Amino acid sequence: NAGVMQNPRHLVRRRGQEARLRCSPMKGHSHVYWYRQLPEEGLKFMVYLQKENIIDESGMPKERFSAEFPKEGPSILRIQQVVRGDSAAYFCASSPQNQGALGETQYFGPGTRLLVL
Amino acid sequence: AQSVTQLDSQVPVFEEAPVELRCNYSSSVSVYLFWYVQYPNQGLQLLLKYLSGSTLVKGINGFEAEFNKSQTSFHLRKPSVHISDTAEYFCAVSERGFQKLVFGTGTRLLVSP
């Protein structure tokens, strides 16, 4: 039973380029969460999605960042015109149902480490 | 708004000694509480969680935590640590009815021989 998969594991971009981070949830999971971990800090919530719906994007920066979870395929976190401050580890997590109502565990992927030069 | 405080950024300990990693939270409503472990360059793995019921929660790898509502704490303990327990430990909270986890800044556990 494969866990949450993220690719690429490492991504290097120059300032102004676009970064696309992919997340495939665990089999049977329909809820996806994205978190960002800056150096020497804890994880910060960014966005919560279900298939074809953004449920909570209260942690997403207002500009340049977007996320989607299409009916088919992985969830994508897209960062346009990256800046050095975007350098961080981006983690995806998935759960089988509404974690808030039932206390379901969020299962984390290995993360994508983005470095902006 | 919720917040989580992990008072110790780093805890050095000798192998086979007991350890306690502290976690305090603030929230005006009922919460779920979690401890996750992160090994270098890996994702987070759930150690244990408190949803309701008994305040003493047992998790994987011999860890346990106790929920103290009056002190708003959820400290993690292990009676005898191993070298392999060296990792970063994160306490997290979520409000019932909401999905997002709010994490503390982490505690680095360093176990030496």
Do A100 and B101 lie within an 8 Å CB cutoff? Answer: no
Q: Side by side, which strands form the sheet with A19-24?
A: A5-7, A19-24, A75-79, A65-68
Average pLDDT over residues B20-46: 90
pLDDT band for position B31 (50/70/90)?
Answer: confident
| For residues B89-105, average pLDDT | 87
DSSP E strands: which ranges in A5-105? 5-7, 10-13, 19-24, 31-37, 43-50, 53-56, 65-68, 75-79, 88-95
Cα gap B74→B59, rounded to integer Å: 13
DSSP B85: G
Percent of chain A past pLDDT 70, that is, above it, reads: 93
A vs B, Cβ pairs < 8 A, gives 68
pLDDT classification of B41: cutoffs 50, 70, 90: confident
Please report the pLDDT score of residue B42 as a whole number: 82
**CB distance A110–B100 less than 8 Å?**
no
Q: Do residues A99 and A107 touch, judged by C-beta distance below 8 A?
A: no
Q: How close is the nearest chain A Cα to the Cα of B7, in Å?
A: 13
Mutation target among A7, A9, A21, A45 for the B interface, most CBs of B within 10 A: A45
* B16 has a pLDDT exceeding 80: yes
pLDDT at A91 over 90: yes
Residue A2: how many CB atoms within 10 A of its CB?
7
- Contact, A36 vs A43, CB < 8 A? yes
CA dihedral B107, B111, B112, B113 (to 10 degrees): 170
Backbone angles phi, psi at A99, to 5 degrees: -65, -35
Mean pLDDT for A6-29 is 96
Residue A88: pLDDT over 80: yes
Q: State whether residue B43 sits within 8 Å of chain A by CB.
A: yes
Cα(B35)–Cα(B58) distance, rounded to whole angstroms?
Answer: 11
Higher pLDDT among residues A103 and B44, named by residue: B44
Which among B41, B100, B105 has CB closest to A45?
B100
Tell me the average pLDDT across A28-44: 89
**pLDDT over 60 (residue A101):** no
Residue of A nearest to B38 (CA): A110
* Res B8: pLDDT: 94
